[in-house]
Amino acid sequence: MVPRLPVRDLTSRMLPTSSRRQLSTSSKTNAATTETRSTQHPPPGKRKPLTKEQRDFLSSALRVNQAGELAATLIYTAQTPVVVARHPHLRPLMKHMYDQEAGHLDTFNALIAKHRVRPTALYPLWQVLATGLGWGTALMGREAAMACTEAVETEIGDHYNEQIRTLLEMVAEWEADGYEVGPELRDLISTLRRIRDEELEHLDHAVEHDAQKAEPHWLLTGVIRAGCRGAIWVSEKV
C-alpha cells in the first residue's frame, strides 16, 4: 500500500502545541516501517538521517542563535562607553561579558556557514534595535543597563534550555532505536550547554551589580523580555 502523505498530520506537527516543540524522529506516516525497525535493530554504527522537521528545527535554532548573539555583542558595545565613563570600575566586567558574547557570535557564524543555513533576513533591523537598546539603557544609568542584561540573559537562558532539551530528546530517541549519534550533534549540544552557562553567569553578574535596583525594575525587565521573546519568534521564521 502506498502511504499517502496526510497533510493534516504534517501541519499539526509543525504548529507547536506547547511552547516547546516535540521533534519525533519518525512521523506517523511511516509508523509501519518503524515497527519493523524496532524489532530488528539496525546494524551498529548506523546513523539515522534527519527528518524534514529536524532539519527545519536545526536551521531555525542556528539562525535565531546567531541573531541573538549578534544583538548581545551590539548591546554591550553600545553600553560599554557610556557605563564605563560613569563607573570606571565596571570596565573589566563589561569587557569580560563582551568578549564572551563575541566568542559565541563567532561560534554561531561558523556553524551557520558550515551547515549552509540562511542567516536572518532582518539582520540590519536587529543591529539597529540592539544598539538602540544598549545605548538607551546605558543612558538611564548603571542599574538600568544591568537590568537590561538581566532581562536579556534570562530569556536567552530559557531559550537555550529549550533547544538543548529538544536536541536531547532527539538523541535519546535515536539511541533507544539503536542508532548511532554523530559527533556533529553531540558537539552542538555541548556547545549550547557551555554558552547557556556563560549567559547565566552574565545574569548573576548583572544581579550582583544592582540590576534589581533599577526603577521601575518590573517595567524595564518586562518590556525587554517581551521584546526578546518577540525577536526570537520572528528570527526563527524570517
Partner 1 sequence: MSPSRRFGTSLASQLLRTPLPPSTTRTAFGRHCYHSYDHPPAVAVSYGSTEQAILSAAYTHVPQHGFSQRALALGAEDAGYPTISASVLPDGAFSLIRYHLVTRREELSGKTKTIFGEKNLGAQQLSTAARVEQLTWERLLGNKDVVHRWQEALAIMAQPSYMPSSLKELSLLADDIWFLAGDTSVDPSWYTKRASLATIYASSELFMTTDKSEGFFETRDFLRRRLEEVKQMGSVVGSVSQWLGFTANAGINVLRNKGLRI
Residues placed in the known binding site: 69, 101, 104, 153, 199, 202
User: Nearer Cβ to partner 1, position 95 or 118?
Assistant: 118
Q: How far is the CB of 166 from partner 1 (least distance, A)?
A: 13
User: Nearer Cβ to partner 1, position 112 or 203?
Assistant: 112
Q: How far is the CB of 203 from partner 1 (least distance, A)?
A: 27
CA separation, residue 236 to residues 35, 51, 220 (Å):
33, 18, 24
- In three-state form (DSSP H/G/I as H, E/B as E, the rest C), the secondary structure along the chain is CCCCCCHHHHHHHHCCCCCCCCCCCCCHHHHHHHHHHHHCCCCCCCECCCCHHHHHHHHHHHHHHHHHHHHHHHHHHHHHHHHHHHCHHHHHHHHHHHHHHHHHHHHHHHHHHHCCCCCCCCHHHHHHHHHHHHHHHHHCCHHHHHHHHHHHHHHHHHHHHHHHHHHHHHHHHHHHCCCECCHHHHHHHHHHHHHHHHHHHHHHHHHHCCHHHCCCHHHHHHHHHHHHHHHHHHHHHC
Q: How far is the CB of 133 from partner 1 (least distance, A)?
A: 15
Q: How far is the CB of 182 from partner 1 (least distance, A)?
A: 2
CA separation, residue 109 to residues 43, 66, 114 (Å):
35, 6, 9
Q: Which positions touch partner 1 (CB under 8 A)?
A: 2, 47-50, 52, 54-56, 58-59, 62, 66, 81-82, 85-86, 109-110, 112-113, 115-119, 121, 123-124, 135, 139, 182-185
User: Nearer Cβ to partner 1, position 113 or 226?
Assistant: 113
User: Nearer Cβ to partner 1, position 48 or 205?
Assistant: 48
User: Nearer Cβ to partner 1, position 50 or 207?
Assistant: 50
User: Nearer Cβ to partner 1, position 50 or 200?
Assistant: 50
Q: How far is the CB of 119 from partner 1 (least distance, A)?
A: 5
Where is the binding site for Fe cation, in residues?
Answer: 69, 101, 104, 153, 199, 202
Nearest to 160 by CA among 213, 111, 104, 221: 104
Q: How far is the CB of 117 from partner 1 (least distance, A)?
A: 6
